[in-house]
Amino acid sequence: MLTVVVRRLVRLLVVLAGVSLVTFAILHVSGDPVSLMMSEAPEADRAVLRQAMGFNDPLPLQFARFLRNTARGDFGQSFFYREPALPLVLARMPTTLLLTVLAMLLALGVALPVGIYGAVRRNSLLDHGATLVVFLGQSMPVFWTGIMLMLLFAVQWRLLPVSGWDSWASLVLPAFTLGTFSAPLLMRIVRSSMLEVINLDYVRTARAKGVTEWFVICRHALVNAALPLVTVAGLQFGLLLGGAVITETVFAVPGVGRLIVGAIRQLDFPIVQAGVFLLALIVVVVNFTVDMLYIYLNPQIRVR
Amino acid sequence: MTRWFLVPLVLALVAVGPLPADAQPKDTLTVALVSHAPTLDPHMHFERVGILVNINMFDSLLHKNARLEYEPSLATSWKALSDTQWEFKLRKGVKFHNGETMTPDDVKYSFERVLDQKKKSPQYGNVRAIKEIRIVDPETIHIITDKPFPLLLERLVFFPIVPRKHVEAVGDQAFGTTSPVGTGPWKFVEWKRDQLIRLEAFDQHWRGKPPFKHLIIRAIPEIATQVAEMKTGGVDLIRNVSADLIPELRNHPQTYISSAPILRVHYVELDMRYPPFDKKPVRQAANYAVDKQTIIQKLMGGLGQIVATTVQPKAFGFDPDVKPYPYDPKKAKELLAQAGYPNGVDITLHSAFVEFRPVFEAITQMLTEVGIRTNAKVWDPGPAWNKVLQGEGKATNGYYGSWGNYSVFDADAVLHPLYHTEPGSWIGKWYTRVEGLDGLIDEARSTVDQARRKRTYSRIQNLIREEAPAIFLWTQYDTLAISRKVEYAARGDEWLWLFDAKPKR
C-alpha cells in the first residue's frame, strides 16, 4: 500500500517537472519578449534589458534557474503587470476552481441519474433521447455552446445575466456551458458500467432476497459501477480546467484561464509559467486523489 | 429518478436574483472594453484601454474638443518662446480628488516621473525630448526641449498631471491600484481586476459636474458577449464594432451606431529591396490595380475614406492637392509589361490584420487579376508574425496592415515609422528605399516653423505618391454602439471623453 502511494507521488513530481519543461521550451522558442516590451526602444536599450533578464544565457542554464526558482515558489515578476506572477495567478484561482467544480457537479448531477436510468430501462425512450443528447453535447465546441446558451437565456428570455462574475446568477451560464462539455461522456460511462454489473449474479441475488429495486441499484450496483466513473471524472477535471480558459473568455469571468490567454499574447513568460504550473499541479493532485480513492473503493488493489 | 435531472435547473432558476439588465439607474454609464490596463497609474502603461480610462480621471495640460482642436485644460494658455522653449500658464485653484490644490510643483513632478529612467515608464519615448521643466512663478511653467520638438503640444494632450505629495505618500504601487488621484471629472471608487472599474463624479471638478454620476468600465474580452450585453442593457457603450455587426446594432430598439473617421490608415507596405517591387512601375501598377471604392462599399459597410498616401486628412501637413491613384486595371497591366513582366509575376503578401481578412483577400484577388499573382498568407498577431514582419525580406514582398500614428495628428507620426530607413524607424528600415526621403522627413522634424514644415510635407506626399513605397488605401472608421438612453458621438481620436456623454430625455 505504502509503495503504491510513494510510486504515485514520484510520478506526480515527474509530471510536474515535465510540464514545466514543455511550457518553458515552448515559450522560449515563441519569440522575444523584450522586443514586445520595448518595441520603440533602440536596439542597444533592448540588449541591456535582455542581458539583465538573463535571456542571453544558454537555455539549459535558464531552465535550471527556472526550476530552482519554481521549487522556491518564485516565478518572477510579470512583464506586463510589473508585479510578482504567483500572487496574480493565485488571486484568480478560486474563481477558476469554483467554476470548474460547479461544472463538474452539474455534469455529475445530470450524468448519474440519466446514465443509471438509461442502464436500468435500456432502449426506453429516455435512453434513446439521452444518447441523442450525448452526440449533440459532444459535437458542440464550448465557445459555441456558451454563446448559444447566452443568446437563449440572457438575450432572448432575459433569465440570467449575459456575463460577469458578480452574483450567483452570473455563475449559472458559465458552469452549465462547461458542464455540458463533460456530462455526455460521464453519462455514457455510468450507463455502460451500470449495464456491466446490473446483470451479474450478486445483483440478481440481491433482488431475489427481496431488496427494493432502489436499494439494489444504489447500494449494490452503483458502488461497483463507480470505479471507472471515478477515473474518468478525475481525467475530465483536467479537461474542464482547460475548457474554463474558453468559458472564462466568453463570459468575461475573471479567472486564471483568461489571465493566461492574455499573458500568452503579451509573451508574459512568468504569468504563463506560474499559471500553467498551478493548473498542472491541480490536475495531478486531483488524479492522485482519484488513484487513492480507487484503491479505497477497490479492495483488490489494496490487497495486491 | 428523472427528478434529479431537474434539480440543477430549478436551482438555477431560483438563484436568479435581480438582474442588471434594464434595471440600471439613469445616473450610471457603463462602458465595455476588451480588457483593463495593468495599472491605473496614467504614466506607467501605454495601453489604449488604459488611456481611455485615465482620461476620465486625470487632466492633462491641454485637451482636444470633439472637433479635435486644442482647448485649454490644466494650462489656460501656451506659446512658443523659441524653437526649444515653451511657456504654459496654469489654471488657478484646480483641486485634486483628495482636496489638495494643484501646484506647478505637481506639474514638474509629473514630467520628472516619466523622464526618470529608473521608473521605466513606457511613455518615456514620447517626451524624451524634454530637457527641463522650469517653474517661473506659481502660475507659469516653461518646458525646455533639447532640440526643436514640434510634437510637444500633441504629446501634452495625454500627459496626465498627478499630485506629488499623494503619490509620494502612498507609493507608485498603491497609486496604480488602490488609490489613484487626479483632477479629472470622475474619481476612483474601486477596481476589481478583469471585472470592473467603478468611478464616481468629482464634485469639485473645475469644468463642473459630469452628467453621469457613476461611471463603470467593464472588461469583456469577447465582442459577441459585448454585443449581447448591449442588447440587454448590461452595458451602454462598446467600441470597435465591426462592419458585419453594424446593421444589427443600428436597427436594434436598444442601440444606435456612431462612427467617425479615425487616425488609422490602411496600406500594403511593399518591400522595395527585392524584385518585383524594386521597380517603380510595378509599385504603381499595384496601386492602380486595387478598386478601393468597391472594397469600402462591399466589405466595410461604406465606412472608409480613400487617401492618396498614408498621410491622412486629419494630420498636420496633409496636402489635399495630392490625389489618390484611380482604379485602372488596364494601366496597371501596361505598367507591369513596361517593367518587364508582360506575363505577370508571382508574389507573396502577408497580414496579421485578422479583423480585415476579407479585405486582404479582396486586395490580393484584385492584384492577381492584373497579373501580380498574389499568394495571401494570414497570420495570428504575435511572435511568429513579428518574425515575418522583421524577416530578412526574402520570404515576403510586403504586408497589409494599418498605422494609428499613436494618436498624434502630425504627418511625422506616420512618415517616420513607415518610410525612414534609420534603425529607430519602425518598418521603413526593412522595406523602404526612396532616394531623398529620409532627408525630407528629417528636415520637417527639425523646426517648429509650421509653415515651413507644411511645405516640406507637401513635397514628401508628392514624392511618395509618385514612388509608391506602399499601396495606399483608406482611413479606417471607429464605430461605437451606444445605448439609446445615452447621447454620445464617436471621436476622430478614438477617445472616450465621457464628460460629453449625456442621458437622453
Distances (CA, A) of B463 to A287, B173, B424, B438: 67, 49, 22, 12
Give how far Cα A65 sits from Cα of A88, A211, A274, Å: 21, 63, 14
Cβ-Cβ contacts under 8 Å between A and B: the total is: 126
Q: What mean pLDDT do residues A33-58 have?
A: 67
Instruction: Kindly list the distances between the CA atom of residue B160 and the CA atoms of A103, B60, B137, B449, in Å, as whole numbers in the listed order.
Output: 45, 4, 21, 27
- B500 burial via Cβ count (<10 Å: 0-12, 13-18, 19+): middle
pLDDT of residue A37: 63
Cβ neighbours of A104 (radius 10 Å): 21
Mean pLDDT of B416-432: 85
Select from A168, A251, A265 the Cβ nearest to the Cβ of B382. Answer: A265
Q: Would you tell me which residues 228-247 of chain B have a C-beta closer than 8 angstroms to some C-beta of chain A?
A: 228-229, 231-232, 234
AA letter at B274:
Y
**A169·B220 Cβ contact <8 A:** no
- Residue A303 placed within a domain: no
Q: Are the C-beta atoms of B12 and A172 separated by less than 8 Å?
A: yes
Report residue B293 as a C-alpha cell. 471604392
Q: Which residue bears the cell 495593468?
A: B38
Pick from A117, A169, A252: CB nearest B219: A252
pLDDT of residue B12: 44
Residues of A in Cβ contact (< 8 Å) with B225:
147, 150, 162-163, 250-252
Dihedral sign for Cα atoms in the order B276, B277, B279, B283: positive
Residue B12 amino acid letter: A
Q: Are residues A27 and A138 in the same domain?
A: no
Clarify whether residues A111 and A249 are in a common domain: yes
Residues 6+ apart with CB under 8 A from B199: B56, B57, B186, B187, B188, B189, B214, B215, B216, B217
DSSP-derived 3-state class of residue B290: coil
Q: How far is B223 from chain A (nearest CA, A)?
A: 9
Q: Do A142 and A202 belong to one domain?
A: yes
pLDDT value of position B394: 55
The reply to whether B92 touches chain A by the CB within 8 Å rule is no
Site from B2, B45, B46, B229 to mutate, A interface, most A CB atoms within 10 angstroms = B229
- Kindly report the backbone phi and psi dihedral angles of residue B443, in degrees, each rounded to the nearest multiple of 5, phi listed first: -60, -45
pLDDT at B215: 98
Q: How many CB atoms lie within 10 A of CB A212?
A: 11
The pLDDT-based confidence of B11 (bands split at 50, 70, 90) is very low
Mapping DSSP onto H, E and C, the string for B336-392 reads HHHCCCCCCEEEEEEECCHHHHHHHHHHHHHHHHHCEEEEEEECCCCHHHHHHHCCC
Q: Is residue A276 part of a domain?
A: yes
Q: Do the chains contact at B38 and A41, CB–CB below 8 Å? A: no
> How sure is the predictor about A225, in pLDDT bands with cuts at 50, 70 and 90?
confident
State whether B228 and A158 contact (CB < 8 Å).
no
The whole-number pLDDT of residue B119 equals 86
**E-strand spans in B156-254?**
186-192, 196-201, 214-219, 237-238
Asked if A280 and A252 sit in the same domain, the reply is yes
ipTM score assigned to the predicted complex: 0.86
Q: Is A167 on the interface with B (CB under 8 A)?
A: yes
Predicted pLDDT at A91 = 93
Q: Is B93 on the interface with A (CB under 8 A)?
A: no
Residue A108 and residue A239 in one domain: yes
The mean per-residue pLDDT over the stretch B425-452 comes to: 89
C-alpha distance from B413 to closest chain A C-alpha (Å): 13
Of the pLDDT bands very low, low, confident and very high (cuts 50, 70, 90), residue B27 is very high
Q: Which chain B residue lies closest to A81 (C-alpha atoms)?
A: B38
CA distance linking residue B226 with residue A245, whole number of Å: 18
Q: Under a CB-based contact definition with an 8 Å cutoff, are residues B289 and B372 in contact?
A: yes
Do A108 and A188 share a domain, yes or no?
yes
Residue A10 sits in which domain range? 2-71
Considering only CB atoms, A161 lies closest to which of B231, B234, B382, namely: B234
pTM comes to 0.83
Least confident stretch, B20-34, B115-129, B379-393, B447-461: B379-393
Instruction: Confirm whether A76 is domain-assigned.
Output: no
What span, in angstroms and rounded, lies between the C-alpha atoms of A231 and B83? 75
Chain B: residue nearest A246 by CA? B222
A116 is a domain residue: yes
- A252/B19 CB distance under 8 A: no
Cβ-Cβ contacts under 8 Å for B504 (sequence gap 6 or more): B484, B485, B486, B487
Question: Is residue A30 located within the same domain as residue A101?
Answer: no
Point out the residue among B12, B20, B232 whose CB comes nearest to the CB of A172. Answer: B12
pLDDT value, residue A2? 79
Q: Which residues of B touch A262 (CB under 8 A)?
A: 35, 221
- The candidate with the shortest Cα–Cα distance to A202, out of A189, A216, A192, is A216
Give the pLDDT confidence score for residue B396 in this predicted structure.
76
Interface residue A114 vs chain B (CB under 8 A): yes
Q: What is the CATH number of the domain that holds A105?
A: 1.10.3720.10
Q: Which residue of B has its CA nearest to A80?
A: B38
For the four alpha carbons of A48, A53, A54 and A56, in that order, the dihedral sign comes to negative
Does residue B79 carry a pLDDT above 90? yes
Q: Chain A closest CA to B295's CA: distance in Å? A: 30
Cell 434529479 -> residue: B4
Please give the backbone phi and psi of residue B324, each rounded to the nearest 5 degrees, phi first: -65, 155
Of A71, A102, A132, the last residue of a domain is A71
pLDDT-wise least confident of A104-108, B117-121, B433-437? B117-121
Same domain, yes or no: A173 and A231: yes
Q: Once rounded to an integer, what is the mean pLDDT over residues A297-301?
A: 72
Q: Is B23 on the interface with A (CB under 8 A)?
A: no
Cell of A8: 504515485
pLDDT at A71: 83
How far is B494 from B237, CA to CA, in rounded Å?
13
**Cβ(B231)–Cβ(B483) below 8 Å:** no
Q: Look at residue A39 in the predicted model and tell me its pLDDT.
A: 53
Name the A residues in 130-159 with CB < 8 Å from any B CB: 147, 150-151, 154-155, 158-159
| Residue at B105: amino acid letter | D
Q: Are residues A207 and A261 in the same domain?
A: yes
Helix (H) or strand (E) holding A136: helix A125-139
**Is residue A277 helix, strand or coil?**
helix
Do A155 and A93 reside in the same domain of the chain? yes
| Residue for grid cell 440600471 | B24
Regarding whether A19 and A145 lie in a shared domain, the answer is no
Q: Which of residues 22-81 of A touch B (CB under 8 A)?
A: 30-32, 35-36, 40-43, 78, 80-81
CB contact under 8 A, B228 and A154: yes
Query: Residue A163 and residue B220: Cβ atoms within 8 Å?
Result: yes
Cell numbers representing residue B432 in the block: 523602404
Residue A304 lies in a domain: no
Secondary structure (DSSP) of B83-139: TTEEEEEEPTTPBPTTSPBP-HHHHHHHHHHHH-GGG--TTHHHHTTEEEEEEEETT
Q: Tell me what pLDDT residue B212 has.
A: 97
Cβ–Cβ gap A113/B13 under 8 Å: no
CA dihedral A52, A54, A56, A57 (to 10 degrees): 140
**How much is the average pLDDT of A138-147?**
87
Residue of A nearest to B41 (CA): A81
> Which residues on chain A are in Cβ contact (under 8 Å) with B7?
109
Q: List pLDDT tens digits, range A93-103.
A: 999 999 999 99
- d(CA B94, CA B162) in angstroms, rounded, equals 12
- Position B499 scores a pLDDT of 97
Q: What span, in angstroms and rounded, lies between the C-alpha atoms of B15 and B37?
A: 33
Are B479 and B259 in contact, with CB atoms under 8 Å apart? yes
Pairing of strands B470-483, B486-487: unpaired
**Are B39 and A150 in contact (CB < 8 Å)?**
no
Mean predicted confidence (pLDDT) in B414-432:
85
- Going by C-alpha positions, the residue among A256, A290, A216 that lies closest to residue A96 is A256
Q: How far, in Å, CA of B199 to CA of B186, rounded?
A: 6
Cβ(B175)–Cβ(B162) below 8 Å: yes
Strands B196-201 and B186-192: antiparallel
Number of domains in chain A: 2
List, in sequence order, every residue forming a beta bridge with B32; answer none if it has no partner. Answer: B218, B238
Could B218 and A164 be called an inter-chain contact, meaning their C-beta atoms sit closer than 8 Å?
yes
Look at residue B395 in the predicted model and tell me its pLDDT: 57
Q: Of A39, A81, A227, A60, whose CA–CA distance to B425 is shortest?
A: A39
Residues of B in contact with A78 (CB under 8 A): 38
First to last CA, chain A: 8
Same domain (yes/no): A34, A150: no
Q: What pLDDT is stored for residue A294 in this prediction?
A: 79
Q: In this structure, is residue A67 part of a structural domain? A: yes
Residue A77 lies in a domain: no
Chain B residue with minimum CA distance to A107: B8
Q: Residue B107: pLDDT above 70?
A: yes
The predicted-structure confidence for A23-42, as pLDDT tens digits, reads as follows 888 887 766 666 666 555 55
A171 Cα to chain B: minimum distance (Å): 9
CB contact under 8 A, B39 and A82: yes
Does a structural domain hold residue A288? yes
Task: Calculate how close chain A gets to B426, using CA atoms only, in Å.
Answer: 8
Q: Do B20 and A161 touch (CB under 8 A)?
A: yes
Which residues, listed in sequence order, are joined to residue B375 by a DSSP beta bridge? B348
Q: Does B352 touch chain A (CB under 8 A)?
A: no
Residue A42 confidence (pLDDT): 57
Q: Which of B7, B173, B225 lies nearest to residue A251, judging by beta carbons?
A: B225
Distance of alpha carbon A229 from alpha carbon B490, whole angstroms:
55
